[in-house]
Structure 1
Amino acid sequence: MTSAVLCGLGTWVPPAVVPNASIAARLGTSEEWIHGRTGIRQRHVVEAGMATSDLAVEAGQRALKSADTDTVDALVLATTTPDRPCPATAPGVAHRLGLDRCAAFDVNAVCTGFLYGLASGTGLIASGVAERVLVVGADTFSTIVDPDCRATAAIFGDGAGAVVLRAGDADEPGALGPFDLGSDGQDADLIMVPAGGSRQRSTREPAPPGAEFFTMAGKAVFRKAIFQMAGSAQALLRRAGLGLADIDRFVIHQANARIINGVADMLGQPVAKFVRNIDQVGNTAAASVPLALASAAGNGELVAGQRVLLGAFGGGLTWGSTVLRWPDIEAG
């Protein structure tokens, strides 16, 4: 069967940087408390008038350049913060990239979105629908987080990451798979934006104050994120016929430094095998995994030939993982 091979990588974060010092006093806490609880020192945020599509276009351009191509057959955009509720943001991103007439659609699996996007792109290639797919993870959570909420305001940042997938062979460097994906909708209320959807709008009543903001049940999410990411990694490795010792680097969703450490502990793996860039960008939701990949590739922590496990956990609840041998590419 034809496999999807990762052959290009590009990322972009908005230039505006918000260090912990800029929000600590407003939240009634300290820089040290924020860093100690999350591992975050700063995050990037969009300026007024900047949208998720702007970040996606920048990352997509860099990924296409990295792959030395100017065309793809499909574009999959993973995001929880589309430019508007309707239509999907992906077709507009494709148009701005000069990819008119290619298939383009959004995927919303919150922080697992990039993994779901990779699986979608892989399916398009395996089924023969596409020869090349651009998969983008982009989010602007600063636009949906209450700036005065201590539980969320310090955690999230904005950013975008993209990869190009091409048709190839399963034994090539960069070949993705297998995948492990899952969900648990009974816990959907642990991570959500209460207002703005059809359930709230159908009441014809104004949304309660603050219902337009993102909410998260931190303690419950913390436990479930560790359990599900570790469990997905183990299920994936069984499916792939691999062991934990076969993995050189783990690149998982940069939700919180303590969650990353918890996954390492549950898997019995040294934390040094887990890539992290959360201190510089915060939790960037669907952009998290590709941003971490680019950071690790750029600083030499990730090199060609290493076997890499990707994993994520997000609202829905959703989770997922996949594996590949890192190809010899230059991230854009």
Structure 2
Amino acid sequence: MDKLTSKKALLDTIRLSEGVNFECDENAVFKEYELLLENKSSLAIKILSIFGGLLAMLAFLGFLGIAGLYNSESGLLLFGIGFIVLAIWLNKVYDKLIIDTFSISIYIIGFAMLAIGLTGLKVEENSIILLISAIAICSLCITQNYLLSLISILTIFGCCLSLIVSNKLYNLVHLYIAFTTLIMCYLFLNEAKIIVTHQKLSKLYNPVRIGLILSLLFGLVAIGKKNVLPIQENYLWLSSIIMIMVILYLVSIIIKINQIKAIKSKILIYSLSFFILLSTVFSPAISGAILIMLLSFLVNYKTGVIIGIIAFIYFISQYYYDLNFTLLTKSILLFVSGVLFLLFYLFTTKNLHSDEKI
């Protein structure tokens, strides 16, 4: 059975289960699905296409530099605004991968030229950041193209971090992480509700989801790697609190899904979870990676799981590398942490099987 036929069978099954009150535009559903198949490509191809488009645009920018455009702030502003408008218009009118890659390239370069032009005119840095963020928000409202929306989300959250850095309010990165974490959790746990609310929201859901994960990682890198931001280490626990609370909430959801009813099992699961998370109090980047993995696994988002695993390995390696301990002590800590995670896995697996038998 091909995929289109399976979609028809799925609609028939839903129609039978919902009864005569169920209504849907089958032609629109199949048309949208066929359009997705036509433009389907792997993430690697999309990245390579965007990279190729950026190289082509950089060559064009080199030509503009030779022509003397960079000596004119008004010229930079004109071309920057023109590129952004053209990118949004192309994504609004056309829905092809090749158009997407070209439009993303001029979209990014348009922002760069706009920022350089405004800087040349001595515009305040905060005003430039807020303007770029506002343009990115407007582009989300106008077009819901996947790649353009993803870049817009990263731009918006990148502007938030830029405001923190430019104003030297480095400890506010904890507020950024908390806000991004809560928004991401709400988005993941309310997928069905968000998608059916409005057609625009359904198109924005996927790019916003991956955009929030990457935006959270930006904040975690800022506090997970020394000397990226001059953050007071005594306040690292602020980010850990929100991470631990959210993870324990997710653990409670997983317990309900797996129908673990024994009080003893629940206490042990919560205790093991808490003590494992307690060890990451002064490394919120590790608990953040665990959160991404757990949340993505809960909603069966494979890309998020992979990103979470890679981030988890990186942040653990970075944390132990930064410790002022001997190599032997670091090895013992890694060994003990690994044993704890294995015991937690074996315990939860055993309880799941025992509950299934009951």
**TM range, normalised to the smaller chain?**
under 0.3
Whose radius of gyration is greater, 1 or 2? Answer: 2
Q: TM-score, normalised by structure 1?
A: 0.27
Structure with higher strand content:
1
Relative contact order, CA 8 A, sep 6+: which one is greater?
1
Structure with higher helix content:
2
